[in-house]
């Protein structure tokens, strides 16, 4: 396979030395490192097609990868397999301001897309995840990731209006309205929503090479406010009430240990100190005129006043601009995309989480149980929670940092994550960006008909078993 890749791509685009392969053998998480046989740096869709055809003939596994920041091993190669590095495929092919979409390749980063819109003074924006600026917009969408626009518009899979896919025989297929000759990629409908055969599958059914995804209006005025809360019920009852009022662009909650790490405390104590807040909630408001912003601020304060009347301790909202003057360490939350270095650059190198989607009605139960589990395993309970898609579901994520060189620490992460996943599953939360270990643990609880259908889809779309094998436990 290596000789084929060199002939196709050129020697400089094929990586095979130990030094070159080292960055590709692992990610932030506790997933076991695997050395790929070779890394292919592709820059054109035709190259991807040729590699897929050859891999099918010789039975070589292919794992797609862009930034490699996924937590859970989804972009780690199968033993002896090929990493298909898509980061050079970073072209923005189309921007349609009127119909509010862009067509991009996998290597387009969050920062690149933001700069592209700003340079052209286009009054549109995309949603930003809390991943670093150099991460892929494309990969986050394919894996069902969230952004700071998810309260209004859901996880980013719901923004995909069309995909271009390299299938197992090397042919190309387009989904959605894009499938009609001459049509714009305005939506998945009214064709069958076949993008779903490739979304959430972690590259196990085909290789996506282009995506049409939706953009959203950018407003003149923006405010990011932070609110200290002192109980899980006060936090999330406030969130549920704010969601129903439909005036917030984004709402997110960080447990107090997460906030302390952001403020420079490297190893918060697992047990809270007396008088400390429970959560810090941030709220994004946007408007086009001052009167609209003032009304939204009044609506926010009305909800918080109502909660205080019911006995909840909730502080007055604090503007991020004022907080930055007091403590510049808050700067990662001033503007997105951002790099949360307290998670990615803490010295030990390890970052893991159990991130789930589930009902807002069960947030308090999940937080109470998850806090007990993390404290028992001697982890500070770093928790991220936020509503999505108008409050129809939300994110509940438990995060750990650890020392990747300390095997005991790695094993402790595996134990706490397994227990957190079991707890979340019992409450009806479903892990997203699901790593292989989690699929294996969830199998006994997943509807057998669903599993059978997934196996049939995988077999049909990947008859040679070359697309990122093993990643869904199928």
Average pLDDT of the residues in 312-332: 89
CB neighbours of residue 160 within 10 Å: 26
Among 40-44, 120-124, 274-278, 322-326, which stretch is predicted with the lowest mean pLDDT? 322-326
Task: Provide the sign of the torsion angle of the four alpha carbons 340, 344, 348, 353, taken in this order.
Answer: positive
When pLDDT is cut at 50, 70 and 90, the band that residue 213 belongs to is very high
Q: What is the pLDDT of residue 274?
A: 86
231 has pLDDT over 90: yes
Q: What is the pLDDT of residue 459?
A: 97
Q: What is the pLDDT of residue 69?
A: 82
Average pLDDT of the residues in 344-363: 91
Q: What DSSP assignment string belongs to 356-425?
A: EEE-GGGHHHHHHHHHHHHHHTT---EEEEEEEGGGTEEEEEEEEEEETT-HHHHHHHHHHHHHHHHHHH
**CATH fold of 2-85:** 3.30.43
213-217-218 Cα angle (round to 5): 115
Per-residue exposure over 305-342, b if at least 16 CB sit within 10 Å of its own CB, e if not? eebeeeebebeebbebeebeeeeeebeebeebbbbbeb
* Cβ atoms of 174 and 164 closer than 8 Å: yes
When pLDDT is cut at 50, 70 and 90, the band that residue 90 belongs to is very high
370 has pLDDT over 90: yes
Percentage of the chain lying above the pLDDT 70 cut: 100
Task: Provide the sign of the torsion angle of the four alpha carbons 218, 221, 222, 228, taken in this order.
Answer: negative
69-74-80 Cα angle (round to 5): 110
When pLDDT is cut at 50, 70 and 90, the band that residue 342 belongs to is confident
Contacts of 94 (CB under 8 A, 6+ apart): 101, 102, 103, 212
For 26-85, what is each residue's pLDDT tens digit?
A: 999 999 999 999 999 999 999 999 999 999 999 999 999 999 887 789 999 999 999 999
Q: What are phi and psi of 213, to 5 degrees?
A: -135, 155
Q: What are the sequence ranges of the domains in the chain? A: 2-85, 92-217, 221-431
418 has pLDDT over 80: yes
The CATH number fitting domain 92-217, selected from 3.40.50.1220, 3.30.465.10, 3.50.30.30, 3.20.20.70: 3.30.465.10
Average pLDDT of the residues in 415-427: 97
For 94-109, what is each residue's pLDDT tens digit?
A: 999 999 999 999 999 9
Q: What is the pLDDT of residue 226?
A: 96
Q: What is the pLDDT of residue 189?
A: 86
406 has pLDDT over 80: yes
For 221-431, CATH number? 3.40.462.10
Which of 286-300, 317-331, 427-441 holds the top average pLDDT?
286-300
Percentage of the chain lying above the pLDDT 90 cut: 86
Contacts of 294 (CB under 8 A, 6+ apart): none
Q: What DSSP assignment string belongs to 10-59?
A: -GGGEE-SHHHHGGGS--SSSSPP---SEEEE--SHHHHHHHHHHHHHHT
Measure the N-to-C terminal CA separation of the chain; round to a whole number of Å.
25
| Closest listed residue to residue 126, CA positions, set 106, 144, 109, 149 | 149
Q: Do domains 92-217 and 221-431 have the same CATH topology?
A: no
197: left (phi over 0), alpha (psi -120 to 50) or beta: alpha
133 has pLDDT over 80: yes
Average pLDDT of the residues in 263-276: 82
The pLDDT mean for the chain works out to 94
| Distance, CA of 350 to CA of 292 (rounded, Å) | 44
For 150-197, what is each residue's pLDDT tens digit?
A: 999 999 999 999 999 999 999 999 999 999 999 999 999 899 999 999
Q: What is the pLDDT of residue 199?
A: 96
């Amino acid at each position: 396979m290596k000789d084929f890749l060199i002939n196709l791509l050129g020697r400089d685009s094929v990586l095979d030395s130990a030094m070159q392969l080292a960055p590709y053998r692992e990610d932030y998480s506790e997933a076991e490192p695997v050395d790929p046989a070779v890394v292919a740096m592709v820059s054109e869709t035709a190259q991807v097609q040729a590699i897929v055809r050859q891999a099918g003939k010789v039975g070589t596994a292919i794992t797609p990868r862009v930034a490699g920041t996924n937590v859970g091993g989804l972009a780690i190669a199968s033993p002896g397999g090929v990493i298909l590095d898509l980061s050079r495929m970073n072209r923005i092919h189309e921007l349609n301001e009127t119909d509010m979409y862009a067509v991009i390749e996998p290597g387009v980063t969050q920062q690149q897309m933001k700069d592209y819109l700003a340079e052209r003074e286009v009054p549109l924006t995309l949603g930003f995840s809390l991943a670093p600026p150099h991460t892929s917009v494309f990969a986050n969408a394919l894996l069902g990731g969230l952004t700071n626009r998810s309260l209004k518009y859901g996880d980013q899979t719901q923004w995909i209006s069309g995909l271009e896919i390299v299938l197992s025989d090397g042919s190309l297929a387009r989904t959605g309205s894009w499938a009609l000759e001459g049509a714009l990629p305005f939506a998945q409908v009214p064709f069958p929503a076949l993008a779903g055969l490739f979304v959430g599958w972690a590259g196990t059914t085909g290789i996506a090479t282009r995506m049409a995804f939706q953009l959203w209006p950018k407003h003149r005025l923006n405010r990011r406010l932070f609110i200290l809360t002192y109980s899980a019920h006060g936090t999330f009852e406030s969130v549920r009430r704010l969601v129903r009022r439909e005036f917030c662009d984004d709402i997110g909650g960080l447990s107090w240990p997460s906030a302390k790490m952001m403020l420079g405390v490297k190893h918060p104590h697992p047990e809270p100190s007396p008088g400390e807040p429970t959560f810090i909630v941030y709220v994004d408001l946007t408007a086009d005129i001052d009167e609209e912003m003032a009304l939204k601020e009044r609506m926010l304060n009305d909800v918080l006043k109502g909660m205080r009347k019911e006995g909840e301790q909730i502080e007055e909202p604090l503007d991020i601009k004022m907080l930055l003057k007091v403590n510049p360490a808050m700067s990662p939350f001033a503007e997105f995309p951002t790099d949360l270095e307290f998670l990615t650059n803490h010295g030990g190198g390890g970052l893991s989480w159990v991130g789930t989607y589930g009902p807002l009605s069960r947030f308090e139960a999940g937080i109470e149980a998850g806090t007990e589990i993390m404290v028992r395993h001697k982890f500070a309970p770093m928790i991220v929670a936020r509503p999505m898609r108008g409050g129809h579901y939300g994110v509940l994520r438990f995060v750990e940092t650890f020392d990747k060189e300390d095997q005991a620490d790695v094993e402790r992460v595996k134990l706490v994550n397994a227990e957190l996943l079991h707890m979340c599953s019992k409450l009806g939360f479903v892990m997203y960006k699901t790593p292989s270990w989690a699929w294996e643990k969830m199998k006994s609880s997943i509807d057998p008909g669903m599993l059978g259908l997934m196996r049939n889809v995988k077999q049909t779309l990947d008859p040679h078993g070359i697309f990122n094998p093993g990643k869904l436990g199928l």
